[in-house]
Amino acid sequence: MSSAPTQFPRLGMERDAFRDLAQKAFSQLKSQDTEALTLQLSGEDTHYLRFNGARVRQTGTVRQTTLTATFQLRDTPQAPIREAVRSVELSSDIQADGLLVGELVAQLRAEAQSVPANPHSAWPGPSEESQENHPGQTLPLEEAPRALLAPAQGLDFTGIHAAGLVLRAVATSTGIFHWFTTELTNIDYSVVASSGRAIKGTWAGRSFDSESYIKKIDAARTLLPILERAPRQIPRGEHRTFLAPAAVADLIAMYSWGTIGEGPIRQGDSALARLRTGEIQGFSPLFSLREDFTTGSVPRFNGRGELAPSSLVLFEQGRFMNALVNTRSAREYQVTGNQANESESLRAPVMQAGSLPLDHAAQELGTGLWLSNLHYLNWSDQQSGRITGMTRHACLWVENGKPVAPIENLRFDDTLFRLLGSELEALTRETESQPETGTYAERQLGSCVTPGALLKAMRYTL
Amino acid sequence: MQSGTPTPDYRQALVIATRAAPQAKWLGLRYLDETLTLRNFRDGLPQTNQVDRSAGIQIEAFVDGHFGYASTSRLDAHGIEEAARRAELNARAAAPFAVHRFDIDQVRPPSQGRYLSPRTIPLSHVGTRAQADLLVRICEKLKTSPRITRTSAMIRLVESRSRYLSTNGADIEQDFEKTSIDFAATAREGNVTQKRTDGGMFARSFQGGFEGIESADLWERVARVARQAEELVLAPDCPTETLPMILMPDQMMLQIHESIGHPLEIDRILGDERNYAGSSFVRLEDIGSLQYGSPLMNVTWNPELRNEFASFAFDDTGARAARQDLIRNGKLVAGIGGLESQARSGKPGAATMRASSWNRAPIDRMSNINLEPGTSTLAEMIASVERGVILETNRSWSIDDYRNKFQFGCEYARLIENGRITGVLKNPNYRGITVPFWHNLAEVGTEDTFEVAGVPFCGKGEPNQAIRVGHASPPCLFRDIEVFGGEG
């Protein structure tokens, strides 16, 4: 393009504007002792470009700013709390948004008065502030189609580009004020072979970098020929297996699904309940997992404006050290909280690396399955930690340390306690960061850092 | 609808957009104002008491055979103008790289019309206190014995109003009310914990007013859920065998959704979803020729069942919706694809390009996909089985990206021996491969056993979209199915 890129206004919600809006809302409270308000702001100005066959399927921009207000009411500072939540889209028009917020508080007060109190609800914490801004440079709308697709010409290149500003903030009537913005580009793609199998990849960064993006696509291009070979039918049963880092990240994601939180453990859903009581043995000494916010990929504060520890050990050499405990669970079960989010799910998981060099992994595997990605995991028996799922994308049969053919997709059905416990033989020295590319309702933030894992056996059932 | 966001003058908004995007051959404007109420109680205490209102506009611009869109929650003239400029720029920049050059008359019809969900008790007539009281009472009634260690009850209420206008004359207004209810009892005996719900995670999702929540059989269902939770903790695990299996309608819903609905989506067949939800084993040339299952299998795309969750009159491109066959006597006759997929593939489809909200572009979605009734009563099916199982209520689902190999788990099963039900089984799972599985369909329930259900969260698309779909089915008997139980 020869002309300068078209400029559009920014998201329209700056830090000071949010502070002013919050103060307007807080001024509606009748008493700081009996009423509290927590405002969460979540905004984005995103350019989406969806591609198929290295051509554009759909493209557009989304500009949204959602305000979620939690109103709390108690008769006295010692009394149980009634709570109501409302969210609305802000317009970025300061006057209109101010009116909207004024109405919200009255609506919320009426609603909170209509529901029973919950003795486990907690008042917002004391005054605390933080600010993180991660600037970057995304592709102009005019240039994005060419910049993204020209390097992939000749490939069956399919996926999504999501780029732009993402904003998260929390303000409470007790004085908490946290602000987080990041420019972020995520490119989540598959390079598909004519066999239908694919090399899956992601590119993520605050500023788009053409050189490293092209390098990734070219690397995928070189891996395509093996996916075109006749696939190997693998019989059901147990097979020695190497899980690439992305496949390990799929397993770790299951900890967020009713497993690592104090709530599901106490309520009997989580497999870790049996680990606590000693009914089930723990994980391999090779397995260590922590929440680590130091990368700055996701805000440290949760929806209540509480700052999580920079690093929190969950498993140390196979031993279960800490569950994720939000403030409500802490009150309900009389334990110490660690500022987990509402769903007590992982936000910034980092799994510790091992000592196996990645480029020796095939050799150490010997003969078995090399799985690049897993797909559609779900519990087949949640309390036993038993998971089913599929192999997907570039999964290969390896013989004597050499990849020989892709495989027909296999279904596995095995337990976390075996896969990260008795069957775990080695972890790779190198780790990879899988960026969170989810976009349900809005762009999600975060990443999952994992090594590859060599397993003595994994159970395949179909 | 609540006050707060001013309702825009849609026609004026389209005029403003047209002025701002002079290079667009066509513009469409879709406004959505949706209020979602979520109330969730555990052991009688509120866990979630939330009302989300989302109002915004999506403008689509058509330039050189390609669409660009821009979505915004800023609904004044500045917001409309900026969105129109962005939509036009997106279309213009991407047109040279477009996957297909569309004919606007073929893919954005100038339809006009209105749709109003049926409703006996409008949602606005039932206040927060009445809703909360109901959920507390459900929790209390579920707590039938000390074995019940946890109770929960939740509702989701949707009030949604949309308006779609275009420069070629489309003018559509649709007004929906939708409800979902779920409740659960968790029982514990020794180290065994089992949870029983009312049909699965919000399977009781219907179009209509509060009558979908406080229905005539509500308290009978509450009592059954509590009773069956206690039965489950004392029950043996489902055996590992290859057996005849009857799926009740609340599990048929999931079976239809995963192994018929998704593989028939034409955008999957065209490859749009290969990086995310996946592709399909179905090829375009299979439409009109593939024998998908046994001759007892008749599947329809039906947006006309008034209380089914995803009924509507027009999709989000203005295409008019009407019932049609997808699979007739086991043979695949049409796919699930909106006007754009039909133009790209040359295959018959349905009016099914829908968006989850104003901030997402419409894509092929399955809407209501139903398995039509057959001629067997449930008693006849059970009597025909020497040894088999009956499975109810989904709790686990997994299928490969081509929609072949699946494994599904249920909450509650019963053992059939010599044509009679002889006991309850816990942790039932089964697995299979789609086409052979449907060829094993041996009996289909009668009209009076046909039940309507729905799913509030069907995930698909890039950017991701969770959308509401409906499924209705009678119970069905399948032969030679691998079933198995729990534990590691």
What are the tens digits of pLDDT across the range B121-137?
Answer: 999 999 999 999 999 99
The one-letter code for the residue type at B187 is: A
Residue A10 lies in a domain: no
Q: Is B436 on the interface with A (CB under 8 A)?
A: no
DSSP line for A276-312: HHTSS----TT--EEEE-TT-SS-SB-TT-PBPPSEE
What is the extent of the structural domain holding B268?
241-484
Q: Which residues of A touch B410 (CB under 8 A)?
A: none
pTM: 0.96
Q: Is A95 on the interface with B (CB under 8 A)?
A: no
Same domain, A85 and A203: yes
- The string of pLDDT tens digits covering residues B157-201 is 999 999 999 999 999 999 999 999 999 999 999 989 999 999 987
Query: For helices B218-234 and B128-142, what crossing angle results, to 10°?
Result: 40
Same domain, A165 and A306: no
Cα gap A296→B79, rounded to integer Å: 32
Query: What is the pLDDT confidence band of residue B5, given thresholds at 50, 70 and 90?
Result: low
Q: What percent of chain A has pLDDT over 70?
A: 98
Residue A6 lies in a domain: no
* Mean pLDDT of all residues in A398-412: 97
Q: Is B129 on the interface with A (CB under 8 A)?
A: yes
Q: Is B190 on the interface with A (CB under 8 A)?
A: no
Same domain, B214 and B174: yes
Tell me what pLDDT residue B198 has: 97
User: Which run of H or of E encompasses B374?
Assistant: none
Residue A282 lies in a domain: yes
Would you say A303 and A341 are in contact if contact means Cβ atoms under 8 Å apart? yes
- Point out the domain boundary residue: A184, A200, A226: A226
**Exposed e or buried b per residue across B310-324, where buried means at least 16 C-beta atoms within 10 angstroms of its C-beta:** bbbbbbbbbbebeee
Does residue B320 register a pLDDT over 60? Answer: yes
Tell me, what CATH number does A89's domain have? Answer: 3.30.2290.10
More confident residue, A17 or A10: A17
- The string of pLDDT tens digits covering residues B205-234 is 999 999 999 999 999 999 999 999 999 999
Same domain, A130 and A68: yes
Same domain, B271 and B137: no
Answer yes or no: do A461 and B431 touch at CB < 8 A. yes
Same domain, B110 and B221: yes
Q: Which two tokens stand for residue B207?
A: 């179009």
Answer yes or no: do A61 and B90 touch at CB < 8 A. yes
Residue B88 lies in a domain: yes
Tell me what pLDDT residue B1 has: 36
Residue in chain A closest to B431 (alpha carbons) equals A462
Residue B3 lies in a domain: no
Report strand pairing: A156-172 vs A176-192.
antiparallel
* Mean pLDDT of all residues in B267-271: 98
- Point out the domain boundary residue: B213, B234, B255: B234
Query: What is the pLDDT confidence band of residue B6, given thresholds at 50, 70 and 90?
Result: low
Same domain, B254 and B114: no
Residue in chain A closest to B344 (alpha carbons) equals A57
- The string of pLDDT tens digits covering residues A198-256 is 999 999 999 999 999 999 999 999 999 999 999 999 999 999 999 999 999 999 999 99
Same domain, B311 and B170: no
- Give the closest-approach CA distance of B422 to chain A in angstroms: 24
Between positions 235 and 274 of A, the ones with CB within 8 A of B are 267-269, 274
Same domain, B377 and B409: yes
Q: Which residues of B touch A159 (CB under 8 A)?
A: 275-276, 462
* Mean pLDDT (chain B, rounded): 96
Q: Is A158 on the interface with B (CB under 8 A)?
A: yes
Between positions 275 and 304 of B, the ones with CB within 8 A of A are 275-276, 278-279
Tell me what pLDDT residue A2 has: 47
Same domain, A152 and A248: no
Cα gap B409→B407, rounded to integer Å: 7
Residue A62 lies in a domain: yes
Does residue A390 register a pLDDT over 50? Answer: yes
Query: What is the pLDDT confidence band of residue B53, given thresholds at 50, 70 and 90?
Result: very high
Query: Cα angle at A155 between A192 and B272, to 5 degrees?
Result: 55
Same domain, B344 and B413: yes
Q: Which residues of A touch B467 (CB under 8 A)?
A: none
Same domain, A406 and A286: yes
Tell me what pLDDT residue B2 has: 40
* Mean pLDDT (chain A, rounded): 95
- Point out the domain boundary residue: B201, B234, B267: B234
Tell me what pLDDT residue A5 has: 73
What is the extent of the structural domain holding A118?
15-226
Q: Which two tokens stand for residue A365?
A: 């595997």
Residue A50 lies in a domain: yes
- The string of pLDDT tens digits covering residues A259-305 is 999 999 999 889 999 888 888 878 999 999 999 999 888 999 999 99
* Mean pLDDT of all residues in B401-429: 97
Q: Which member of B67, B89, B191 has the closest CB to residue A279?
A: B191
Q: Which two tokens stand for residue A280?
A: 């089930």
More confident residue, B488 or A181: A181
Tell me what pLDDT residue B258 has: 98
- Give the closest-approach CA distance of B330 to chain A in angstroms: 25
Answer yes or no: do B488 and A417 touch at CB < 8 A. yes
Same domain, A254 and A215: no
B324 DSSP β-pair partners: B301
Same domain, A313 and A360: yes
Q: How far apart, in Å, do the first and last CA atoms of chain A sit?
A: 52
**Exposed e or buried b per residue across B380-389, where buried means at least 16 C-beta atoms within 10 angstroms of its C-beta:** ebbebbeebb
* Mean pLDDT of all residues in B387-405: 97
If one counts the domains in chain B, the total is 2
If one counts the domains in chain A, the total is 2
Residue B2 lies in a domain: no
Tell me what pLDDT residue B488 has: 56
* Mean pLDDT of all residues in A138-142: 95
- Point out the domain boundary residue: A207, A226, A245: A226
Would you say A72 and A36 are in contact if contact means Cβ atoms under 8 Å apart? yes
Tell me what pLDDT residue A4 has: 76
Q: Which residues of B touch A143 (CB under 8 A)?
A: 93
Residue A7 lies in a domain: no
Tell me, what CATH number does B155's domain have? Answer: 3.30.2290.10
Between positions 329 and 358 of B, the ones with CB within 8 A of A are 356-357
Residue A353 lies in a domain: yes
Q: What percent of chain B has pLDDT over 90?
A: 96
Cα gap B32→B353, rounded to integer Å: 16
Cα B208 from chain centre: 15
Cα gap A233→A369, rounded to integer Å: 12
Q: Is B53 on the interface with A (CB under 8 A)?
A: yes
Same domain, A216 and A328: no
Same domain, B279 and B372: yes
Does residue B470 register a pLDDT over 50? Answer: yes
Q: Which residues contact A386 (CB under 8 A, 6 or more apart)?
A: A379, A380, A413, A414, A415, A416, B486, B487, B488
Q: Is B54 on the interface with A (CB under 8 A)?
A: yes
Residue B247 lies in a domain: yes
Best of A6, A21, A62, A88 to substitute, by most chain B Cβ atoms within 10 angstroms, is: A62
Burial (CB count <10 Å: 0-12, 13-18, 19+), residue A289: buried
Best of A40, A59, A105 to substitute, by most chain B Cβ atoms within 10 angstroms, is: A59
Tell me what pLDDT residue B393 has: 97
The residue among B108, B193, B276 whose CA lies nearest residue A382 is B193
Same domain, A253 and A203: no
Tell me what pLDDT residue B261 has: 98
Q: Which two tokens stand for residue A356?
A: 């196996």
Q: Which member of B52, B76, B359 has the closest CB to residue A87?
A: B52
Cα gap B425→B333, rounded to integer Å: 38
Tell me what pLDDT residue A92 has: 78
Cα gap B31→B63, rounded to integer Å: 21
